[in-house]
Each structure stands twice: as C-alpha cells, then as structure tokens.
Structure 1
Amino acid sequence: MSSILFIPLLPLIGFLINGLSFPKLSNPVAGIIGTIPPLAAFALSLQLFLQFDGNTQIVPLLDWISVGELSIPIAFQIDQLSLLMLLIITGVGTLIHVYSSAYMSHDEGFGKFFAFLNLFVFFMLLLVMGSGFVTLFIGWEGVGLCSYLLIGFWNKKNSYGDAARKAFIMNRIGDLGFLIGIFLLFQEFGTATYQEVFEAIKAGNGSNLGLIAFCLFIGAMGKSAQIPLFTWLPDAMAGPTPVSALIHAATMVTAGIYMVIRANVLFEMSPEVLHFVGWIGLATALLGAAIGLFQNDIKKVLAYSTVSQLGYMFMGLGASAYTASFFHVMTHAFFKALLFLGAGSVIHAMSDEQDIRKMGGLKSQLPITYITFLLGTIAIAGIPPFAGFFSKDEILAHLYHHDIVMWALAIVGSALTSFYMFRVFIVTFHGDFRGTQHQADHLHESPIAMTLPLIVLAVLSVIGGIINLPAFVGGNEFLAHWLNPILPEGSHEALEVHFASLEFLAPLAAAFIPAIFAIQLYGSKKAVPAADAEISGIQKIIYDKFYIDEAYNFLFVKPIQFLSQFFYSFIDFLIIDLLVESTGKFVKSSSNELRKLQSGNIGFYIFMMVAAIAIILAWTLKSWIF
C-alpha cells in the first residue's frame, strides 16, 4: 500500500520543494530534485506491474463528502489499465524531465518549470489511479491547470498568454459536459465509484445511460482535442517544447481516451453514442491530417498530427476496439514524444528557429537527431515493422469489419499523415541549408541529456509493436490478454487478416506511396518554397486551418466581447457605478450643507435654539387650540 501512495506523492513532493525553493536552488540541483520523483515513481510502478496478480486493488484514502446517503470516497484503484498508464506517464515523463534539464538550462524560470512539470505528472497520476469519476475529475482539472501554467510559461509574450487562456477556456467547455455527466451518475446510481456504477449497469439498472455517456464524451472531446474543441491544441505549441511532448505524449490529451476505455461498460450500453464517438474521431483525423499538409512550423505539424492520431484512437473506440485504441495510445506516446523532443533538438540547434523552410541540410550536423527523427517519422507513418504500423493498422482492421466507409476514409487520413511527416523530415534534414550564417556557425548536436531520451524513445518506437503483436505474424497479443479482464466480452477477439487481402495491403500502400512521393517531391530544391512565398487558393484555406479559428472568433468571441463591453459600459458604469457614486455625492453634498450650520458662532447657536423652542411651542399651542 505504501508504494502505491508514494507513486503520486513523489512528484508532489518534487513540486513543493522546487516550488517553495525557487529561485534559491541552482539549476542543476533543481533539475535533480525535479527528475528523481518521476524516475522513482516509474520504478515503483514497474514493481507493481511485475507483482500484479490480476486482482483489482482498492486503496481507500478518505471519505471526502458524507452527507446522508451521499458518500464520495477518495481512493486509488490499481488494475490492468491503471498500471499501464502509470508506466507510460512515469516512464515517458522521466525521459522528458531528463531532456528538460538540458533544454531549459539557461532559462531564468528553470526551477519553476520543473515544479510545474512535477505537478503535471502528479495530477495525471491522480487521474489514472482514482477509483471513481470524482477522483478522476480532480486530476482532470489539475492537468488542465498545469497545461495553462506551462503553455503560458514564457508569459512575456501576449500570444503565449492568449494560447494558455484558449487552452484553459476550451477545456472548461468540455469539462462542463463531464461535470454534468458526473451529476447524472449520482442522480442515477447514488455514486460515481467505478465498481459500483459498472456493477449497477451490468445488473440492468439506469435509464439515462446514453445521456450520461454523451456528457462524459463531451469532456473527452475537450481534453483530447476532438472537433469542435480541438483548436486549443495546436496553439499549445507556445509553451516550451518539453511541455508539448508531455501534453501530447505522456499526459493530458490521452486522458479522454483513458476515460472512455475505463467507462467501456457504460459506453457499450450506448451504441448511438459509440457511433457518434467513431465519426467524431474520423472527422478529427481527416481535418488534422489535412491542415498538417501545408504547415511550416515544425511543432505545428506535429501538433496537428496529434489531433489526427487522437482521432484514430476515438475511431477505434467507436468500433469497440478498446485494446487497439489503447495500443495506439502506448505506441503514440513513444513516437510522438520522440518527434517533439527531436523537434526541440532542431530548434535548439537552429537558435530557436521553427520554420522548416529556413532549415534544410541538418543531417550532417545533427546525426543523432536525424536518425531518431527518421525512426519516429517511419513509426507514425505506419510503415512495418515499426510500432505505429501494428497499433494503427489494428485500428484499421477493426474499422474494416465495423464500417467499410469509415475504414476507407481512415485510409485516406493515414496516407496524408505519411505524406506530411516525410515532407517535414525531408525539408528539415535534407537539401541545402537555408538558414542564416549565424545559425550555420552555431549548428551542433544536442548534449547527451537531450540525445539519450531520443535514443531510448527511438528504440521503443521501433520495437513497441511487440506489446500486442498479432497472432497472424507470430505474436502472442500480450496487451489484449492483459486488458481482457476489464473489457467487455468480444472486444478482444483476434482478427484474421490475410496478407493478400485489401484490409492488409491498403494500409501498406497508404504508408509507402505518399512517403515515396514526398521524398521525391521535396527532395527537389524547387519544391521547397521560400519563407516569404505567397500562397493562395485551396492551399491557403488549408494553411489557415479552414478559418475555423476565425469562425469561432466571429460566432462566439466577438459576441461575448460585445456583451462584456455592453455590461461594462451600460450596466456596470451607467447604472451600478452611477447609482453608487450618486448616492455618495448626495451624502457628501448634504454633509457639506449641514456642516454650514456648525459655524462656531455662539450667537448663531442661541438664535437657532430660540427658534427651535419657538417652533416647538407653536406646534404645542396649535394642538391645544385645535
């Protein structure tokens, strides 16, 4: 039990030490204090994983609220799903902490940055370890807060602060739906604890399951950046690159996927909602891939690839392919963390330049970054035998048997992914160098603290597919068997795929053909546009994200700003302020007039006293006479 408690407690301790000691601690000391907690938490998580006997373990902490029949306990639940999430969060999180110790070494907010990273890991651990939706929601809100703090970490630029607020507000929209779903759970079952809710559902209780599932999914749409609540994620690139890796790979955006998998009993009883989940995922996958085609900011391309890959995970969930979706969560954590940290290595070498049109020819100067970025690109493109091939193609295989139209459109999205990722790779690392002379003079490979995490993640991106290697290629489907106890019956059934079949060959073609086309196209110097080149037509529409941000600004932001200005100018200023100020002015003027009566002249006082007595006597005589 103590080891379970220490897993989230260690990052919290790291946060408190660095947070309270900043800026007294030196950067190396702050880095060590910040990195040891997630590393120790990973060791404890690995020990729990190796010793797990297959039985769910509940660790009660406290009764948070107990009023009448309402009881809200705070407890941890250790089972097959939470154990895997613990390994992902602490394992990848530790590598990001190590990387950050070098990447942020010259930043004046170094200690504060590590404090926020530790707090982020703490809340994500709380999210996945909770035994009910309330504990999950506390962690859910915590990672939202940490994303705000880290996205806007470099807050001297207004645009960074705007990006942080955008992420915070758009997540609050989704969180409102999530909160309503939790309230409905209490109304329907009197509890929000996983075991009690799911047992009641299995027993046939509950009449509003579809509505509850829909509300919970609204929360997942916000946290996991699905249409229409996805626009915050690309803007989150304003934060330091390690933050991008942490948000996109190890924490936060996978929280929505985790929640739906955790609540699979509820969602399986709501087929209409699952259908909606799948199509939202498809639309998001296609939109993210399309926008990524023409982006020139290396981090923005990776951000839209995350939006797209999350869409694939939700497509898998819509087809009840929970194992396949979680498999992709794991492999995506490996290659997406690798790609973001690789992008950070490039940005570090290029003196903070992020425009790929101003790069090129970095292959020889950054050999480790080059090789590891290539491996990550191959993995996300779905080329065998890399990890992304097995996880994404398992989702596609389930879609093939679930909805052939959805499968065909998903193949299109996969082809787009392969094309834009190889475009980024070729334009960044091949061809002639297109930067400034100053950048050329300072090109260098990143230090070992940055390249070591790249190497580890590259290895995982290559061999990660063995976690759930399918039987038709000689695997034992470890992940499917591991998750079997917590998933509905039939969701883990093995698919028979023939090598000569359309469902096997189409994903391969979608991975290889666009990659070859991108290599040939952007291998030519003429295909790489100048940094100041004008774009028009459909390319500009896609580059400008189909003007979705502008539409949101017109439909929601501007009207709200107008109403705010109206309430300020009319209600607040003209009515409230005027009423309060008028009252004050009346009292003040009345006081000034009354003060004139206090002249200090004794004769005046005697006169006023005699006059008052005369008035009183006159009033008395009047009452006697009449």
Structure 2
Amino acid sequence: MEVAVVFLPLIGALVAGLFGRQIGDKGAVFVTCGLMLLSMVLAIIVFFDVAIGGNPRTTELFTWIDSGTLEASWALRVDSLTAVMLIVVTVVSALVHVYSVGYMHHDTSVPRFMAYLSLFTFSMLMLVTADNFVQMFFGWEGVGLCSYLLIGFWYDRPTANAAAIKAFVVNRVGDFGFALGIMAVFFVFGSVEFDTVFAATPGQVDTVIEFLGMRVNALEVICILLFIGAMGKSAQVPLHTWLPDAMEGPTPVSALIHAATMVTAGVFMVCRLSPMFEFAPTALTIVTVVGGVTAIFAATVAICQNDIKRVIAYSTCSQLGYMFFAAGVSAYGAAMFHLFTHAFFKALLFLCAGSVIHAMSDEQDMRRMGGIWRMIPLTYGLMWIGNLALAGIGIPGVFGFAGFYSKDIILESAWAAHSGVGQFAFWMGIAAALLTAFYSWRLLLLTFHGAPRADEKVMAHVHESPKVMTVPLMVLAAGALFAGILGYPYFVGSQMEAFWGGSIFVLPENNVIEAAHHVPTWVVLAPLVVGLIGIAFAYLLYMARPDLPGRIVAHARGLYLFLYNKWYFDELYDRIFVRPAQMLGYGLWKGGDGAIIDGFGPDGVASASRGLARRFSRLQTGYVYHYAFAMMVGVVILVSWYVWAQGG
C-alpha cells in the first residue's frame, strides 16, 4: 500500500506533464487531483496501521547501487516517523491540488503546473520513505529541482526567474555539506544503510578523522555536515535568504513549500538521524543555537514586511527555528509535533492569503487592503483560526488551538533541558512568541479592518472565493483546531513511547520531554501571556491608534530599515559573494576565455586566415598585364626549380 502512496503522484505528474496537450486542463486536473486524493486516503490507512497499530515495515523494491563495498537498495521504510510525514505531505498536497483548480483556473499552463505539484509531492515522499542516505539524497535533490520549477513557474517574470535561481543556488550550498556528510558516513561506517549506520554509531563515538587539516571527532563532523544540508533546505540562518523570494511562485506553491514539503525536510532529516545526533553533543548544540537565532531573527523581520505572503514566509522561517531547537535539546517528538500542527495552520494561512489576493485582483501589499472583512467573511473567519493556532492561544487544561500544544511543549522542553543553550533557546522562543502574535494580528488588522485603501475598481470586485478553494481551507482549519489536542498524547504525552517505537532514539539522560511535564507553572503560562500581549499591542497600533506606527518608525528609522531590509543579509552576501564572483567571472571571460583561448584559438586562426586571404585578394586586380606578369614569374620559378633539380 505504501508503494501506491509514493508512486501515485508520480503517475499523475507523468500523465499531466507528457500528455497535457492531449487531455487538456480538465483532464490534467482530474488525473493529478484524483491520484493525489487516493494517495492521501491510502496514507491515512498506512498511518493508522503503522503508527497507531504498531506495524512498521520496510518494503525493498530492487537493488539500486551495487559497486564494490557500496550497496544501496531502493526501499520504502515506513515507521511512525515516516507515517507522520506521509499524513502531512499527502493531506496538505491533496488540498493544495484541489485549491489550485480554482486559483489557477485562468492560467495558460495548468497541466504543467499540476504536473510540477505532483512531481514535488513524489520527491518529498521519496525523501521521507528513504531507507538509506543515497535514496534520501535523491528525494532531497528532487525537492530542490521541483522548487526551482515551481518558484519560477511564471518564467516570463524576471523576478520569478531570479527567485528560482536564488533558491536553487543557496540550496546547493547546503546540499554540498549534505553530500560531504554522506561521503563521510560511508568513509567511517562503510555503509549508507540507516540500520547499519545506526547500529554502529555507539562504537564510533571516539573515532577521530582528518578534516580540513585537523584531527576531529568523526561523528561530530558528520552530523554538522548533515545539518548544513538541513540549514539550506529548511531556511535556517544564514542559508535562509531564498525563502522570502520563493513567494514569487503562485500561492499554492508557497503553501506546499512552506507547510508540508521542502522546508520540513531538514527537520525530518535531523529527527530521522537522532541515533547519530544523540552521540554528537556539539552538533546538537549548534542545532539549538541556529534554531533559536532563526526563530527570533525571522520574527523581527516579519513585523516590518508589507507583502502578505512575505509575512507568512518569515513566520515559517521562525517556526522552523522552533522545530530545530527542539531537536537540538533532544525533544525530537516535540519537533515532529510542531511540524505536524504547523503544516495545517501554515497551509491554511497561505491559502487564506491566496484567497485574499484572489479577491483583491492580485494585490499583495497589505497597505492597499483594509475594510474587506464583511465582503469575504469565510476567508476572514478561517484566517482568525490560522492566526490563533500560529500564536499558540489556548486555555491550559481546557482547549487550545494546534500551535498552543506543540509550541508550548517545545518551550517547556528547552527550559527542562537545564543547559545554557536550552535557556538561550527558551528565551529566544518566548521573544519570538511575542513577535509572532504581534505580526499575525498586524496582518489580520491591516488586511481586513480599517478604512479601504484599495481603489474603487478593486473594491467593487472583492468577492469570496469559489467552493473549490474554500473547502480545502475548511479542512485545514479543522486541522488547525484539533490536530494539537488529538496528537498531544501520541507525540509527546502518555502514549509517546509506544507511538514512536524505535523510529526516534533518545539517550535516557536526554529525555527532556518527560521533564517538560514538570516545569514551573510560569514556564507553562509564559507563551500564552506574551502571545496575548502581542495581540493587544497589535490592536493598539493598528486599530485604536493607527497613527502610532508612523510615529514609531519616524523615531526609530534606523532600526526599522534594519528590520525591513532583513538585517541586510542580501546586501552582505551581494558584497561578499555575488560581486566578487561576477568580477572573477567577467575577468575569466574577457581575459581568459576571450583573450587567450579564443585569441590564440578559433578567433586567432580565423583572423590570420582573413589576413592572408585579404593579401592574396589584392593580387586579383583585373588587369591582363598583371596576370601575364604573374604567369611569367611562375614560369621562371618552375624552370629554375627544374634546372636546379636536374643539376642535383
């Protein structure tokens, strides 16, 4: 059954991609959506069988690589960790497919778009079902390729092309580290199979290797290199700059990338490799620090953005930081829990934003919105649910939205770690929770409330989205409402050990989730309190006193520009990497390729030939006596040569 879950989206992609012209838009939509929905249903069945029923299994399809000592089979590993990802990927992807039917209705390349979506889903499913490092790398690179195709889907837009190239190049930086890590795994363990490597890891704790001219702990280096790959794919500082630009793609793409597929790959990879990371404390410290820094960095940037999709994009970046520092303090179950709940409310927010953009005639700037909540009440209500889940609002012991349960257990785990990096991550997470609530309600109030700021022509056409777009929103809203309370006992509660089985490994001394259930009351209440403060502050600035934001910006313009320009990371990278690379490339092009290779090669030979031809062409004057003279000279030369030859 898991074979069908993985390969049905691939069949849909091939049919829509290769035969799109023959079957048309409706045929492509029917095939891709139908197969994706079927894959979703089968994934739910697999989830209950494997995760709830406790029947993990590995299905080997064929031997993929057999070269010397390198052996890698193509197999589908389905345990609880994989089963959770199958639910996340297939459910969100199926809903995005259906939503796209309405959102992309007027596009001229619907079959191509639907094929890309299904291929993206297949690549992610291959990644999460991988049974070895090489197979995981195949899915890893497939996801990167599909993100390039989808971000640059509207290839007639220069900004979309630039964003697609940026995402591809930045991810190559991380993927280089990931590839080195896989090579190091094979070098140290002699295998790329997960089970073989995991079983041998405790015996390699003290192994030392040569790396960059230094003798270093092999396991630490391997885990750090693998995490560099996760930093690129999951947009962690400093490899995060591609994520906001990915908004150049259609909104359904943003929802799929940010909620269920590409950006969650890094979190999944770290959790999958927990049997290795648990024996690499330095690597875990780096994961924690990077996650904490990313959580606060992205939240500070989000409060100053005006594009509705960019605000949600930076929110994704921030929430991924939560997931990583949870994994960094060994709370892998909490990281996967937040990944699970985040998929629902973040996909909901993105698709609600798409509904707003659809209603506002493709307008994305929140400064040109406002006053539309009565015109699109369903989207407005669903956006409320998504925001409440993102802000983590709930009443302890009674009911909370999805993010309330998953974000709180992460913060409680960071506190319960009782380490320096754990405390750092906790306070970064608390600060990020305050900012998250603020920018969420800033988005809501600027978009839906206040006086209309769009022109009359746009306001006259504001309308609720069709059912093909709103029904997926309602399904995602149900997840944002109930995924937390339903999943809590299994992911991080009383059923945790039975649920995860052997798919996640935690050393006994690192079991912070158990300790997280016994933290002080103020630690439990702190995220809710700061969340409510953030909401109140947003209401004050954008409803009660809308004049205050402008005055604050005027008094702190330097800080505002620093945050608005994303801490100037793009400008820094442009100066350090892009411009020198351009200058080097230009110099090699003009001075090396043009002047030396072409100058002495094809261009030089051609120039010499033209020169000789030009000189010989001067002999062709058209005068008979010139030709007669040339003939006489030729005769003299021939006779002289003959006489000389005979004399010799």
- Measure how far apart 1:25 and its partner are: 3.2
Residue among 381, 386, 400 paired with 2:401? 386
- Return the alpha-carbon distance in structure 1 between the equivalents of residues 493 and 573 of structure 2: 47
- Measure how far apart 1:55 and its partner are: 4.6
Counterpart for residue 624 of structure 1: none
- Return the alpha-carbon distance in structure 2 between the equivalents of residues 62 and 469 of structure 1: 37
2:587 corresponds to 1:558: no
- Measure how far apart 1:479 and its partner are: 5.1
> Which is worse superposed, 408-417 or 584-593?
584-593
Tell me, yes or no, if the aligned pair for 2:331 and 2:513 is still in contact at 8 Å: no
Tell me, yes or no, if the aligned pair for 1:372 and 1:454 is still in contact at 8 Å: yes
- Return the alpha-carbon distance in structure 1 between the equivalents of residues 631 and 522 of structure 2: 112
Counterpart for residue 429 of structure 1: 448
Q: Aligned runs of 1:134-213 on 2, under 5 Å?
A: 134-204=134-204, 207=208, 208-213=218-223
Tell me, yes or no, if the aligned pair for 1:148 and 1:164 is still in contact at 8 Å: yes
Query: 3-state SS of the aligned residue for 2:64?
Result: strand
2:505 corresponds to 1:488: yes
- Measure how far apart 1:77 and its partner are: 0.9
- Deviation string for 1:478-512 (max 9, x for gaps)? 45531142222444752464697221121111111
Q: Aligned runs of 1:65-464 on 2, under 5 Å?
A: 65-204=65-204, 207=208, 208-384=218-394, 385-402=400-417, 403-464=422-483
Residue among 585, 589, 610 paired with 2:639? 610
2:591 corresponds to 1:570: yes
- Return the alpha-carbon distance in structure 1 between the equivalents of residues 644 and 343 of structure 2: 92
Residue among 535, 540, 543 paired with 1:515? 535
- Measure how far apart 1:592 and its partner are: 7.4
- Return the alpha-carbon distance in structure 1 between the equivalents of residues 169 and 607 of structure 2: 40
- Deviation string for 1:524-565 (max 9, x for gaps)? 3634879xx989321122111121111111111011011111
Query: 3-state SS of the aligned residue for 1:25?
Result: helix
Counterpart for residue 211 of structure 2: none
> Structure 1-normalised TM-score?
0.93
Residue among 504, 516, 520 paired with 2:524? 504
Tell me, yes or no, if the aligned pair for 1:480 and 1:492 is still in contact at 8 Å: no
Give structure 1 regions of 4+ aligned residues with deviation exceeding 6 angstroms. 591-605
Counterpart for residue 623 of structure 1: none
Equivalent residue letter for 1:145: L
1:476–1:170 CA distance, 2 compared to 1 (3 A): closer
Tell me, yes or no, if the aligned pair for 1:281 and 1:310 is still in contact at 8 Å: yes
Query: 3-state SS of the aligned residue for 1:26?
Result: helix
- Return the alpha-carbon distance in structure 2 between the equivalents of residues 32 and 290 of structure 1: 42
- Deviation string for 1:187-246 (max 9, x for gaps)? 111211111111111344754111100100000000000010001001100000000000
Equivalent residue letter for 2:259: A
Tell me, yes or no, if the aligned pair for 2:438 and 2:535 is still in contact at 8 Å: yes
- Measure how far apart 1:34 and its partner are: 1.6
- Return the alpha-carbon distance in structure 2 between the equivalents of residues 564 and 519 of structure 1: 51
Query: 3-state SS of the aligned residue for 1:558?
Result: helix
Equivalent residue letter for 1:522: Y
Q: Give % identity.
A: 42
- Deviation string for 1:171-198 (max 9, x for gaps)? 0000000000011111111211111111
Give the length in aligned residue pairs.
612
Tell me, yes or no, if the aligned pair for 2:409 and 2:516 is still in contact at 8 Å: no
Counterpart for residue 9 of structure 2: 11
Equivalent residue letter for 1:62: F
2:57 corresponds to 1:36: no
> Structure 2-normalised TM-score?
0.90
- Measure how far apart 1:593 and its partner are: 7.0
- Measure how far apart 1:595 and its partner are: 9.7
> Which is worse superposed, 316-325 or 423-432?
423-432
- Return the alpha-carbon distance in structure 2 between the equivalents of residues 187 and 227 of structure 1: 29
- Return the alpha-carbon distance in structure 2 between the equivalents of residues 15 and 199 of structure 1: 37
Equivalent residue letter for 1:113: F
> Which is worse superposed, 34-43 or 68-77?
68-77
Query: 3-state SS of the aligned residue for 2:23?
Result: coil
- Return the alpha-carbon distance in structure 2 between the equivalents of residues 552 and 204 of structure 1: 37
Tell me, yes or no, if the aligned pair for 1:336 and 1:376 is still in contact at 8 Å: yes
Query: 3-state SS of the aligned residue for 2:108?
Result: coil
Equivalent residue letter for 1:389: F
Query: 3-state SS of the aligned residue for 1:66?
Result: strand
Q: Which runs of 5+ in 2 are unaligned?
A: 209-217, 395-399, 621-626
